[in-house]
Chain A
């Protein structure tokens, strides 16, 4: 029969294609298999702000911020074995380690460091992380295309780099430890051009792992860097499997096909894992230096009135959310600096849950019958919808009739950067351990608009600038603690919720897993080893 012959032909064709499509997954016994929800897109951390997986495993920085205890961090020497900071806080001199080699075999020199940071500022790079070098002298001219080099970057000799800032900027050393400050090789990076970081052939760093395979939206294979300066990693390989569906991811873990499961992907499964006889001994958790919060847009009435904002702060039963939705795995926060961040203030006045008082405040403000409000969120984002639905019900008790407005991701972020987004719930985890990373991010003149706070306070703007330039840590902490009270307690411009623990479940063979201090899902896998 003609039809069945045709079917046969199609069948054979498909088997050929199916065998050819997709690459086989080679796995050894020392291969750590980790999942990843979205493709990291590139190993070049200058041109993306989302994924730190590749920068943390394939690259190094001048200094590193390591985890020294649960939620505690310390800055230690990295590619620079030591450094000096001038008395006026403007000149940073880094002395590089000798004999550190890039994956393609070239030795690291001071010129590579100068090149790396200059490349970030070069307008042709279209870098997204130029903020971290804002304070370098001549950065602005370089970014605007008015200079062909950056004045503040200089290689004094083969192993000495000097970075001059346009003014003292206290967090600079911490910033140098952030993944965005990863160091590249001049020659190799120039040769790779716009393909740098996109393929194994065009990626080279000094880090503990070398990129060997990269199939977009499918998987990445990193192999141990035999000549790593801190010693070869114990793992032979890291297999990163891109799996966009969180449910699938959980099944992959339970079927033993991946080694680490990040419970951020399925918070509702935490009790399942912590009570399951097979998994309960393999749950790792750590505090994270990050804070969950609700934003308030002061451009949207009636939130221009501080009494309404205070009422909103009081109308949310944070304890209940923490206990019911997050199984009590965290702490309430009453400010902006969560625990673990330097300058964190444990003695802040507690924001009490009090719907009656909130109602009274609304009445005082001229809304005895309550007010309507919007809560925005990215559509389909379950982790936010769970919180928003609970909060919506709580707010009703206090006279806020909240509507949850779901929008797609791009619309959400565009509306927000125009300053028009209503209240939303989010979490911010520290990129570097400094209050500046929290305060400046949310309350600097342009940022307060771009994050739809619209909290225009000259007092705050001035304090932010002052905080950046002070070098005495005690003095800085005092300033930020005062500022925190002004923003949260006096002006009620921010609704702090809580900081959560980061919970992971591991396959029994995973040893020496240390959750990163800041609570990122991305981490360096250098210290991990596997036992069978």
Chain B
């Protein structure tokens, strides 16, 4: 584990340079976009100088990285608040959304995949897989809109948007989770189909176990291995920002911070949030690996 943590350092440095360079290649500066229609050239010039934006690229990078190494990501240009504070405030919201969405995707995806695999090429299979493909293919802003229309406006069961408790989390979790459920369902289906052809399944059946025992104790345990990996990575990707879901449902999370930072060329905020997200993704992968080796004793890392 320590080794893996150490291995993230070069990744983070690489990412930080990449973001820095890219944000400076594309046209735009934080002061003009902050002023928008009420721009005044004199003010832009002065404030840019005061913010140190006129300094050479390399100077600015080292100023940033120097602070970052001491744990200080600086102040967001636009929001004028410490970047670390902004991330800490936004993270719990994103975490709640990510876990809820993951839960939805597993609760829908795994049973759907299993049922499809048990009755391959039947009407059950077709219905579940059609539902999965719809989830994967439908853009979230569209499915979210449909849900808001149905559940909030027509039926009045759930609030339209906002983030003030569990009730508010259901729709975003469903919207985000459905798209991921499709992937899980398809993966568990193909994986289970594969496993069902294996010799040990034939052996289990030959021992006289019931079909349910065969599936749960022998088939599923092995079939879910690749699914668990994908699940861990999915959670990490939810955590690193579900921008559209957060915007449509008005959830003050990390994704919105990052997208605003790009829009307004807010370098410190973008560096902070992307580095944080990178770290989460790297960790997600590590967790996936560890889970994999725990679940499957044949696989060992770092030995």
Contacts and interface: CB of A to CB of B under 8 A. Distances in A.
A122 B148 CA distance: 48
B153 A428 contact: no
B42 A446 contact: yes
B36 interface: yes
B18 interface: no
B42 A131 contact: yes
A416 B33 CA distance: 11
Contacts of B30: 410
A127 B51 CA distance: 11
Given A21-B93, A245-B248, A417-B41, 13 more contacts: A7-B107, A22-B93, A123-B46, A128-B43, A130-B42, A130-B43, A248-B248, A257-B159, A410-B29, A414-B28, A417-B32, A417-B39, A447-B40
Contacts of A255: 152-153, 156, 159-160
B124 to A, nearest CB: 23
| Size category, B interface | 35 or more
A255 B148 CA distance: 10
Interface stretch (B59-67, B77-85, B195-203): B77-85
Interface centre among A22, A217, A446, A450, by most chain B C-beta atoms within 10 angstroms, is: A217
Interface centre among A11, A130, A252, A428, by most chain B C-beta atoms within 10 angstroms, is: A252
B103 A7 contact: yes
B253 to A, nearest CB: 8
Given A11-B103, A446-B41, A451-B39, A244 B163 contact: no
Contacts of A10: 99, 102-103
Interface centre among B79, B90, B163, B257, by most chain A C-beta atoms within 10 angstroms, is: B163
Given A42-B80, A215-B252, A244-B250, A143 B29 contact: no
A255 B154 CA distance: 9
B152 A198 contact: no
A248 B161 contact: yes
Given A126-B47, A410-B265, A251 B152 contact: yes
Contacts of B107: 7
Interface residues of A, number: 68
A18 B41 contact: no
B27 interface: yes
Interface in A9-65: 10-11, 13-15, 17-25, 41-42, 47-50
Contacts of A416: 32, 39
B50 to A, nearest CB: 5
A241 B153 CA distance: 18
Contacts of A11: 103
A7 B105 CA distance: 12
Interface of A: 1, 3, 7, 10-11, 13-15, 17-25, 41-42, 47-50, 123-124, 126-131, 143, 194, 198, 215-219, 241-245, 247-248, 251-252, 254-255, 257, 408-411, 413-417, 426, 428, 431, 446-447, 449-451
Given A10-B99, A41-B80, A215-B252, A251 B153 contact: yes
Contacts of B252: 22, 215-218, 242
B166 interface: yes
A129 B47 CA distance: 11
Interface of B: 26-44, 46-47, 50-51, 75, 78-81, 86, 89-90, 92-93, 95-96, 99-100, 102-103, 106-107, 145, 148-149, 152-153, 156, 159-166, 168-169, 216, 224, 247-250, 252, 256-257, 263-265
Contacts of B224: 3
Nearest to B23: A410
Nearest to B93: A21
A13 B47 CA distance: 46
Contact of B256 (A21, A217, A409): A217
Contacts of A254: 153
A397 B3 CA distance: 68
A128 B162 contact: no
Contacts of B38: 49-50, 128-129, 431
A226 to B, nearest CB: 27
B160 A252 contact: yes
A22 B100 CA distance: 15
Contact of A411 (B26, B86, B89): B26
Given A47-B80, A255-B152, A23 B44 contact: no
Given A19-B165, A25-B164, A14 B100 contact: yes
B28 A20 contact: no
B40 to A, nearest CB: 5
A410 B32 contact: yes
Contacts of A198: 80-81
Contacts of B33: 409-410, 413-414
Interface centre among B28, B95, B103, B159, by most chain A C-beta atoms within 10 angstroms, is: B28
Contacts of A128: 31, 34-35, 38, 40, 43, 47
6 contacts: A11-B103, A18-B166, A198-B81, A244-B250, A417-B41, A449-B41
A493 B107 CA distance: 63
B289 to A, nearest CB: 17
